[in-house]
Structure 1
Amino acid sequence: MDQQAIPAPTTMRIARWEFIALCAALMALNSLAIDIMLPALQQIGASLGVENENHRQYVIPAYILGFGFAQLFFGPLSDRFGRRPPLLAGLVIYVLASGAAAVAPTFETLLLCRFVQGIGAASTRVIAVSIVRDTFEGRRMAEVMSLIFMVFMAIPVIAPSIGQLVILFASWHFIFVAMAIGAILISTWVTLRLPETLHPQYRRPLTSQAIIGGFTTVLSNRVALCYALASTFAFAAMFGFINSAQQIYVGLYGVGELFPVIFACVAGMIAVSNFANARLVGRIGMRRLSQGALIALLSISLLWLLLSLRGPIPLPLFIAIFASAMVPFAMLGSNFNALAMEPLGAVAGTASSVLGFLQTFGGGLLGTIIGQAYNGTVTPLAAGFCLVSAGAFVAVLIAENGKLFQPHNAPVEPGGGFGE
């Protein structure tokens, strides 16, 4: 189904632009929960007695761990009960965990609250992708996902500034209050406007046999699994940067309160690139566009690493290189997601949960390793970008049987997927 007005099994209808905006808002809750924290890490560490500077980063992976694991549960639940009930339940968890984090007395308690907050946020990612797959197919799905990612990526542009603004006038606790308020507003929007996109005849029983069968379908599909792994590596690069961004910009380059501004400029490149991707994907195709972008990202990362090994990189050059890397990077996420989801429409909820788990948990774990390797230079980050870009390239080669830049793949095996 692919129409201007989105019909659904309920009596509600929603315009295409509002559908895209609502899906983007749901996914933006995740970006907000990560990026709004960055300016406050130093204040949180000082307030809760965290002496090791790298340990302050754990506020980010604690959230990502809960976010990654919980996706495995929300997918089957959404395939059984529909998209709306699990989504609303997850939003309630997100709001409650945000409120609890605002009054956390210790760093360990804060990390626990962040883990639970990630559990609630998992519903938004799984179900946003599922309802897009319920409603669109092929290149249209990739175009819609690109538009969603474009709006979604506007959050990293403004989130650090919101965090910086909060800690200028109040303590870091009020950052979590802001997140709770945002989630309440989006929950209201979902309740009033989001239709149920899963038709009753497509609901799957919530039994161990059905769940295992759905997981098997996803994990045995070469194209879906390999593109999910490629997306995992791409997300690892971003998580690695997010974990160490505050230390690089503030600690290494000493930009101080300009940190949110510089971060916003680089994040803005991702939003612009996602808009370009939405315009180009229908003409060039998901495979050609994403594979070319991956090769560009690998080349830029290698140049970055070589320059960093020669000596300190000046701030203007670092920003130029990193912004250049973000242009092809932005063309990977939405296209890789669409390519992974395309052959799995019959189990969209379960597929979204498995692929989301691989991307966020695997990407978060690798990103944490990259972030913890920070040593006062940008070399560990550059090396991390090189390694994960190479890993993504290998995964894409396996998915495509070694043949890149093909406009589509015909079915090559049972469960092997189909082309754009």
Structure 2
Amino acid sequence: MTDTTSRAPVVGRLGRKEFIVLVAGLVAINAFAIDIMLPGLQQIGASLGEADPNKRQLVIPAYLLGFGLLQLVFGPLSDRFGRRGPLLVGLAVYCLAALCAFFTTNFSALIALRLVQGGGAAASAVIATALVRDVFAGNEMAKIMSLVFTVLMLSPILAPSLGQGLMTVMDWRGLFGFMAALGLIIIAWVWWRLPETLQPEHRRPLSLRAVLEGFGIVFANRVSLAYIIGMAALFGALMGFLNSSQQIYRDVFGVTTLFPVFFAGGAICSALGGVVNAQLVNRFGMRKLSWVALAVFSAAALVMLAAGLLQALPLALFFALSAAQFLVFSMILSNFGALAMEPLGEVAGTAASTQGFLQMVPGAAIGILIGQMFNGTVVPMALGHVAMAGLTAVCLVTMAAEGRRGVGAT
């Protein structure tokens, strides 16, 4: 592990800034694969013969389901064979699935290809987290993850507008062409610039016993598991917003062409949250910042729910509350992710894959449930946010506190 206070090159030829941007790029291709689709959901459904607007949402959670499931595979592979090889394979699958989706003429086939595309992208998310854990630890790791999230949050700012722009010159297929091209750029960058970060002495054998042992280490650590469950719950709340955001802005508030602008505004707040967290984490610590951020998220959800039930939720208030949630969401995820990974350096790849699986698969399921409950109001989404924030608080109070007393902690 490198000296975390050094500003010297971090890995091989990669300087600190390039390392952060590359890791953010590995994560950002997933954000682009999700957010760039939002303006095209209705056109995709109409083009491929899917009339139900709620079912058109499945283009997003199908990707997330594959993304979550295959993390369980790429984590142990990266602990056995290193980071580079599995990462390049996963990125190649991502690109090929996007190219096949470009040519598909069937909605069900598109959903299947999105599942495969998400599966390939799982490598980038797992290995991005493992790369950071290979190089940094503690509050410095949280700081780097915050900076990664800051760069990452630029993609939701750009993606919906980019998607809408692409659809002015060609149909929805251009979205998949863009994703394939972006994936190829990341492949070239990894191939030429990223060396192997997993030291030979830290590689784990790829056997069923070793894999189960690695997962056992993760699940036995109550502190890590509490933060992972919290991430899953809050990610599910975010997915509920993403799945129904276009319908909410269009059907509830009458926003159509300006939808990408409102969406970008929330993403800017999320990027700002990453910057704020990076500046404050060394001063106040990850746990304190996490609790403050969770309190803000919960308060905004409660106000949104109450105003929705009273039918007193104007567009300005809805946007302000959503912006507050986006602001603290990036703080929560970056800190929770670092807190979950901190005691698991010996199985960083497996830990990252378990974290990703438990975040994405239940999160996608929660997001589908919230999205499919859309009834022309913001109430189902706000209720889901309140419930998920409450679940997170319960997990942290019980499991994390118990783990810090030494019960189940490794």
Q: What's the TM-score once normalised by structure 1's chain length?
A: 0.95
Between the aligned partners of 2:220 and 2:89, the Cα distance in structure 1 is 30
Q: Alignment partner for residue 8 of structure 2, among 2, 5, 17? A: 5
What's the CA shift for 1:317?
1.5
- The letter of the residue matching 1:126 is V
C-alpha distance 35-398 of structure 1, shift in aligned 2 (>3 A): same
Equivalent pair of 1:91/1:120 in contact (CA under 8 Å) = yes
Query: Residue in 2 aligned with 1:18?
Result: 18
Equivalent pair of 2:146/2:274 in contact (CA under 8 Å) = yes
Q: How many residues align?
A: 407
What's the CA shift for 1:216?
0.4
Equivalent pair of 2:222/2:407 in contact (CA under 8 Å) = no
What's the CA shift for 1:4?
2.6
In the TM superposition, what whole-angstrom CA distance separates every residue of 1:8-53 from its partner, at most 9, and x where no partner exists?
A: 5xxx331000000000000000000000000000100110111111
Q: 5 Å matches for 1:15-94? A: 15-94=15-94
- Equivalent position SS for 2:70: helix
Alignment pair present for 1:297 and 2:297: yes
Alignment pair present for 1:103 and 2:103: yes
- The letter of the residue matching 1:166 is L
- Equivalent position SS for 1:401: helix
What's the CA shift for 1:7?
5.0
Alignment pair present for 1:416 and 2:406: no
- The letter of the residue matching 1:180 is A
Structure 1 range deviating more: 171-180 or 324-333: 324-333
Equivalent pair of 2:90/2:121 in contact (CA under 8 Å) = yes
What's the CA shift for 1:254?
2.0
- Equivalent position SS for 1:255: coil
Query: Residue in 1 aligned with 2:223?
Result: 223
Between the aligned partners of 1:136 and 1:271, the Cα distance in structure 2 is 21
Between the aligned partners of 2:406 and 2:323, the Cα distance in structure 1 is 40
In the TM superposition, what whole-angstrom CA distance separates every residue of 1:171-208 from its partner, at most 9, and x where no partner exists?
A: 00110000000000011011111121100000000011
| RMSD of equivalent CA atoms | 1.3
What's the CA shift for 1:414?
7.1
What's the CA shift for 1:214?
0.2
What's the CA shift for 1:330?
2.1
What's the CA shift for 1:134?
0.6
Query: Residue in 2 aligned with 1:271?
Result: 271
Between the aligned partners of 2:79 and 2:36, the Cα distance in structure 1 is 32
Q: 5 Å matches for 1:254-265? A: 254-265=254-265
In the TM superposition, what whole-angstrom CA distance separates every residue of 1:378-418 from its partner, at most 9, and x where no partner exists?
A: 0111101100010111111123327xxxxxx9x6437615x
The runs of at least 4 consecutive aligned structure 1 residues that moved more than 6 Å come to none
- Equivalent position SS for 2:299: helix
Query: Residue in 2 aligned with 1:234?
Result: 234
Query: Residue in 2 aligned with 1:392?
Result: 392
Alignment pair present for 1:327 and 2:346: no
In the TM superposition, what whole-angstrom CA distance separates every residue of 1:145-174 from its partner, at most 9, and x where no partner exists?
A: 000000001100000001100111110011
Equivalent pair of 2:77/2:86 in contact (CA under 8 Å) = yes
Query: Residue in 2 aligned with 1:122?
Result: 122
C-alpha distance 252-349 of structure 1, shift in aligned 2 (>3 A): same
Between the aligned partners of 1:86 and 1:106, the Cα distance in structure 2 is 30
What's the CA shift for 1:312?
4.8
Q: 5 Å matches for 1:126-137? A: 126-137=126-137
Query: Residue in 2 aligned with 1:405?
Result: none
